[in-house]
Amino acid sequence: MDTKILEEWKEKVGSPEKLIIAYLKTPSFSKAQIANIQSLFQLMVDYIVSQNMIVIKKNMTLEKIMYYVNTHLHENITIDEVSRYINKSVSSLSHLFTSLLKKSFKHYVIECKLKKAEELLLEHPEMTIVEIADQLGYDDPYYFSRLFKKYKGLPPSEYLKQSYIFYSQKDVFKEPLEKKLTF
């Protein structure tokens, strides 16, 4: 085998002395040094993998929570209920929300419900505030209205009026210019 390598080297480079010089210039490591380098690489790989697994696991847990909340908007969603669903403690769920989303679980649920309320108001203007509150799991429509006003700046009825005015003005601009100018 060694003679085969030497013959191939002679064909490609020519001189066997160059092979010997190249070999001598190559750094060599003892078995102990190689074992240390392997250990170092293993530590680095383990650290990288563990960090990525934590992030992936947190994101997967957060996605599972968000899915649960969005599919249960019609209910009174509690942090206890969701923590049982994801099999985590209430404190770890709370910490997860504040660390990743920078808001509390309760605040997130309210935002999701109010976003759905906006959709319902715009898509079904015939629905009453009582019906929308009920559909979003609020037993008290007055509480729902107060929350809506607190987070959106307007009570739901006023929001609907302003949205109607806004969208009706946009519809005017969608008409061809010739129609607007005819008397």
CATH classification number, 31-181, choose in 3.30.420.40, 1.10.10.60, 3.90.1300.10, 3.50.7.10 = 1.10.10.60
Max mean pLDDT range (3-7, 15-19, 106-110, 162-166): 106-110
User: What is the C-alpha to C-alpha distance for residues 41 and 145, in angstroms, rounded to an integer?
Assistant: 59
Per-residue pLDDT at 174: 43
114 touches 151 (CB < 8 A)? yes
CB-based contact 133:141 (threshold 8 Å): yes
Average pLDDT over residues 3-32: 77
Q: Which conformational region is residue 113 in: left (phi greater than 0), alpha (psi within -120 to 50 degrees), or beta? A: alpha
Is pLDDT above 90 for 105?
yes
Residue 113 pLDDT > 50: yes
For range 89-97, the mean pLDDT:
91
Task: Tell me the domain boundaries of the chain.
Answer: 31-181
Amino acid at 136: L
Confidence band, pLDDT 50/70/90 cuts, at residue 150: very high
pLDDT of 85 reads: 93
- Of residues 160 and 129, the one with the higher pLDDT is 129
What is the C-alpha to C-alpha distance for residues 7 and 134, in angstroms, rounded to an integer? 87
Q: What letters, b where the CB count within 10 A reaches 16 and e where it falls short, cover 27-43?
A: eeeeeeeeeeeeeeeee
